[in-house]
Structures are given as structure tokens and as C-alpha cells.
């Protein structure tokens, strides 16, 4: 008698078709977490989908970590618009470790995020080519000092409140 077969026995091309039929990314991520082969199929299916990775509240930390670890090498732009609490040290470490092709960082900044943003910018200052910051509240000058140390930076955009301590 034949042994029972499972979804993981299917070729990666067939698994790609299954992922294609899942409408929401949340469902794709849930399926990818089930088995290592399904994770590989998710990566195959995603290809360059995460070239621009927007941090969103629709992903759990676990799902976001999976995206970063498995697809981060394709990420060139990280966008943080404050729709969720991203600044978790584990996720920041994962981005700096796995997003090896990161070139651009865009963020909406609040003072409460300033320590983590400074830490993140310090870790990626040698690789970023573009930084766009939109201030919603005052934040420490250290963030702009970190940006000033970015030797590869070609494009900088700072919008929002600039106080008398910042000379542009």
C-alpha cells in the first residue's frame, strides 16, 4: 500500500500555483510557516515581490521575520509609515543581517521611535543610498548626525518640523 501523500510532496512549480491562488499575503505567509518546503515555495513564488518592503500592521512579527529572513536579500527599499510598531530589536537585527541589498529607507518619525531609528541608521549607514524622513514630532539631532555619517548617501529628504538647532 502506498504511503499517504501530502502537499509537501508536490513539485515547487505546483506549489507556486497554489500560492498564486491565495489572494491575501497573510494566507501565503501562514501556509509558508507550515513546512520548510512550503517556505521554499513561498520564496520561489515571491521572487522580487519584496524589493520594496513596506512595514504593515497586517503582518505579525513572526510573519515579518519570515519575510525578512527568506526574502530580505531582494529588498532594496524599506518603508516604515508608523501604521504599526516595527521597532523591535529582533526585527531590526534581522533587517541589518538579511537585507543585504538595502539601498533606501523611508520613515514617518515620532519621538517615541527615535532611539530605535538612531540605532537602525547607525547599523545601515554604510549601505544606504537614499533616506527620506518625515517628522511628525521633534526628534533628537542624533538622527541627523547618523544620516550625516552616511558615506554612500546620494539622496536625502527631510520633511516636517525643523527647529533652530538644525542648520540646513
Q: What is the pLDDT of residue 82?
A: 64
End-to-end Cα distance, the chain = 76
- What's the fold here for domain 48-168? 3.80.10
The H-or-E segment that residue 28 falls in is helix 25-32
Domain ranges of the chain: 6-47, 48-168
Residue 8 has pLDDT above 50, yes or no: yes
Residue 36 to residue 76: CA distance in whole angstroms: 25
Write down the mean pLDDT value for the chain: 87
The pLDDT score that the predictor gives to residue 162 is 61
DSSP letter at 72? Answer: G
- 59-98 pLDDT per residue, tens: 788 888 999 999 999 999 999 876 556 667 888 899 999 9
What percentage of residues in the chain have a pLDDT greater than 70? 90
Q: Is the model more confident about 92 or about 41? A: 41
Give the mean pLDDT of 16-24: 96
Question: What beta strand segments (E) does 22-139 contain?
Answer: 52-55, 77-80, 104-109, 130-135
Amino acid at each position: 500500500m502506498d504511503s499517504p501523500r501530502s502537499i509537501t510532496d508536490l513539485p515547487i512549480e505546483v506549489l507556486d500555483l497554489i500560492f498564486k491562488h491565495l489572494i491575501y499575503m497573510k494566507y501565503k505567509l501562514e501556509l509558508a510557516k507550515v513546512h520548510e518546503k512550503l517556505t521554499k515555495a513561498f520564496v520561489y513564488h515571491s521572487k522580487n515581490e519584496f524589493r520594496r518592503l513596506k512595514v504593515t500592521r497586517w503582518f505579525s512579527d513572526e510573519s515579518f521575520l519570515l519575510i525578512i529572513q527568506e526574502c530580505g536579500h531582494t529588498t532594496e527599499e524599506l518603508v516604515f509609515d508608523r501604521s504599526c510598531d516595527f521597532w523591535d530589536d529582533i526585527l531590526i537585527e534581522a533587517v541589518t543581517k538579511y537585507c543585504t541589498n538595502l539601498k533606501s529607507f523611508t520613515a514617518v518619525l515620532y519621538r517615541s521611535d527615535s532611539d530605535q531609528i538612531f540605532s537602525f541608521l547607525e547599523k545601515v549607514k554604510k549601505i544606504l543610498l537614499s533616506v527620506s524622513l518625515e517628522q511628525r514630532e521633534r526628534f533628537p539631532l542624533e538622527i541627523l548626525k547618523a544620516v550625516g555619517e552616511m558615506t554612500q548617501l546620494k539622496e536625502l529628504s527631510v520633511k516636517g518640523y525643523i527647529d533652530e538647532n538644525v542648520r540646513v
